[in-house]
Structure 1
């Protein structure tokens, strides 16, 4: 009896794992205003940039998503989808949402025939002070975070010279995404006064936000036939990759397969 139950359990697990939902988890830089610690210069009204992002949207649309998730909070869902619906109906409509949402997410949705977008960001938790390393007095180690971050920012500055497509290719590499976890969270663990955890506590706020983003994603009803396209700032992409790599529900699809 016990053996039969064990075999049945294994079969059920194999069935679940065989039906993972495919996800194209796409990291981007923000193509509109952002309060982030680092940003790339980008003119969303420049026709060359509009043309290039449209070509990128066509590449991504080959993934054939049925669900698209973006970096807005869920309480904006109605406004977002009203804006998106007007975009689909009228080619001359001026969208309320700009940046990568209008330039890439909307275009991918239109090409792929997706009628609804999902907002999965989370910003209702306490304030996240990523600049605490420059503010805290009497630190045990006042140099490590600054040194490690400077090395990362130096590489980010080199990416500034690339085209939009080349930027996005670099952003969606494991090295770049890992650096985003470092610079937004892990490097803060070097920031503290004796016996305290000021930097680690700030890093935990950012981890908390991304766990909630993942929870928002998990609340979307899906079937095994759905294909999810997520477009968010690279730091969120990096965290979601880590969560989904271990998930029994999702199968990450390599972004390089679509960014040609």
Structure 2
């Protein structure tokens, strides 16, 4: 009996040590100025828009995150910390960060009493040419890229009359996330001249940026008691979704358990 107890204790210890950190990976459109090629119509100063986003914040706060990650550079973490503290102290404080950081991340953090907000963005990859398929001459395949992109953009335009919540629900669907990886990276592998890799090399830049962003997440000090909420542009969230599926450290949480 003693030996069985020891084995059971060992197995229990192993299970506890293997407990994964829960991560809620939330895809959003940029709610402020953005250099992204695809932009969503949204007025961050509109009272109606602010109310809609606050309703989303209340839903996501139910996850009870201990840490929130946003699409800002890690070098700004101290600035984010001070900015958030001033936001908490003064309801009229004008935050340094517009868009989803102040409208969504700060509001969730306030509701859920989150102490730490980290930037995980990366911008050193170099200029990324989304439009190479329209610019490169003498392509081996001049059809696939040019037929896919207008169809994809058309799907985004169909969202214009949706509410903020409806747009975010659509952004977080698996089918949308997969389309975003294709549109922002994989479709470029069809763009090349004979025996060259112009499009693939552009796509690799975007893969590299997202891998580095994921590496920034992995450099944040976490324990198995932490619950992490990532708020990022939908294409980044699409890549994170793929990385999280294979992670030995994290357990992805279903967004639609909260985005109801």
What is the correspondence of 1:17-166 to structure 2 with a 5 Å cutoff? 18-166=18-166
1:212 aligns with 212
Q: Deviations over 1:59-92 (max 9, x none)?
A: 0000000000000011111222211110011111
Q: How does 1:195-210 map to 2 (within 5 A)?
A: 195-210=195-210
Distance 1:75 1:12, change over 3 A: farther
Q: 1 CA distance for matches of 2:78 and 2:161?
A: 37
TM-aligned CA deviation for residue 18 of structure 1? 4.1
Mapped partners of 2:151, 2:133: distance in 1: 16
Give the distance between the partners of 2:143 and 2:17, measured in 1 at CA: 45
Q: Take 2:123 and 2:46, find their aligned partners in 1: how far apart are those partners?
A: 30
Distance in 1, Cα, partners of 2:230 & 2:119? 10
Aligned residue-pair number: 253
Give the TM-score normalised by the residue count of structure 1.
Answer: 0.93
Once the two structures are superposed, what CA deviation does each residue of 1:136-172 show, in whole Å capped at 9, x if it has no partner?
1111111111111122111111112110000000100
Query: Is contact 1:60–1:259 with CA below 8 Å preserved after alignment?
Result: yes
Pair 90,245 (structure 1): closer, same or farther in 2 beyond 3 Å: same
Q: Is 1:179–2:216 an aligned residue pair? A: no
User: Stretches of 4+ moved more than 3 A in 1?
Assistant: 10-14
Q: Return closer, same or farther for 1:146/1:11 CA change in 2, 3 Å cut-off.
A: farther
Quote how far apart the aligned CAs of 1:15 are: 2.8
Give the root-mean-square deviation of aligned CA atoms. Answer: 1.8
1:110-132 CA distances to partner (integer Å, 9 max, x unpaired)?
Answer: 01111221000000122211111
Question: What is the CA-CA distance between 1:11 and the residue it aligns to?
Answer: 5.2
**Alpha-carbon shift at residue 135 of structure 1 (Å):** 1.2
Cα distance in 2 for residues equivalent to 1:61 and 1:88 = 16
Partner of residue 3, structure 2:
none
| Kept after mapping to 1: 8 A contact 2:66/2:116 | no
Structure 2 residue 192 is the aligned partner of structure 1 residue 192: yes
Instruction: Describe the SS at the equivalent of 1:129.
Output: coil
Describe the SS at the equivalent of 1:251: strand
Contact 1:31 1:99 in 2 (8 A): yes
C-alpha distance after superposition, 1:185-228 (max 9, x if no partner): 00000000000000000000000000000100000111111000
